[in-house]
Amino acid sequence: MRNWFAGFCFLCSAGATAAELMLLSALPVQLFQHATPGYAPVAMVQQVLKYYPAPYKIESVSLNRAFAELQSRPGACVVGVRKTAQRQRDFLFSKPYIIAPDIRLMVKTGSPWSGRLRALQDKDGRVSLQQLLALTNRPVLVSEDGRSYGMTIDPILTEYRQQNPVYVKTAKVSRFGDTIPMLQKGYADLVLEYPAALNKTELAALQSFRLKEADPYALAYFACKRDAETVLILHQLDSAILQFRRQPEFKQLLLDIYDPAERAQVWQVWLALSSAG
């Protein structure tokens, strides 16, 4: 399932014009205008915006460009961002509104790497990315520049990117799963991706392997420019998120990408993580 944002005008209570909030996403703007986008992260943002009390716009840019805008553009925010220590130093973060599943290693069915990955699995069925990339004959692994894969995986990728065994995709990515064609066309052996971001046709041609270093679940937020003007906008955005989280449809949308048997567990994890984050 291809389930995984942009500008706002904000008027202060006194009626004077404050900073303009620009909400940025790698996704096409048209998706946010569709009544039924068929992509859970877009639907979640749409629901948050229903409770946002001011006009807004949405701008489509690459992930790297979006983060650059957060350094220089007052009021700019990026959707669906995971927290890292560096990002928390650089940006402001909203309340969480999405819980993402664990990232997986994706391989083409029938690839020689499928058998090799099975041989590397531990007793829990997980593969160590650190061990995999330490092999003498390493796979060609696609990862996206600017994207966070988790606190443990990110430094592993940084180290191996410096040694050039990891293929880094720097072109504009419109959605999670846009690196999969590189795997399908034989440009790479493995891709790091969420199976929930892929449709049934793609999943039928791929196998996924859990990673020892992957976070089991991760919250996603709006990341915003760190300045006084954006703080005012963020208060309004947080209020909208909290209003959406109180609605009956929130739980259904949050859990929709998960297997029904996993949803009760994910909901409990959401309650624990969101209360802390």
Contact 146, 63 (CB under 8 A): yes
Contact 12, 18 (CB under 8 A): yes
The domain defined by 103-211 carries CATH number 3.40.190.10: yes
Per-residue pLDDT at 2 exceeds 80: no
The single residue listed with the structure tokens 């205008």 is 33
Signed CA dihedral, 132, 138, 142, 148: sign only: positive
Contact 103, 211 (CB under 8 A): yes
Position 187 scores a pLDDT of 84
Architecture (CATH level 2) of domain 7-100+217-276: 3-Layer(aba) Sandwich (3.40)
Per-residue pLDDT at 149 exceeds 60: yes
> Residue ranges of the alpha helices (H) in 57-108?
63-72, 85-90
Q: How far is CA 1 from CA 102, 106, 198, 238, 256, in A?
A: 15, 15, 5, 28, 10
What's the pTM?
0.80
Q: Where are the domains of the chain?
A: 7-100+217-276, 103-211
- pLDDT, one tens digit per residue, over 171-198 is 444 455 567 888 888 888 999 888 877 7
- pLDDT, one tens digit per residue, over 110-127 is 999 999 999 999 999 999
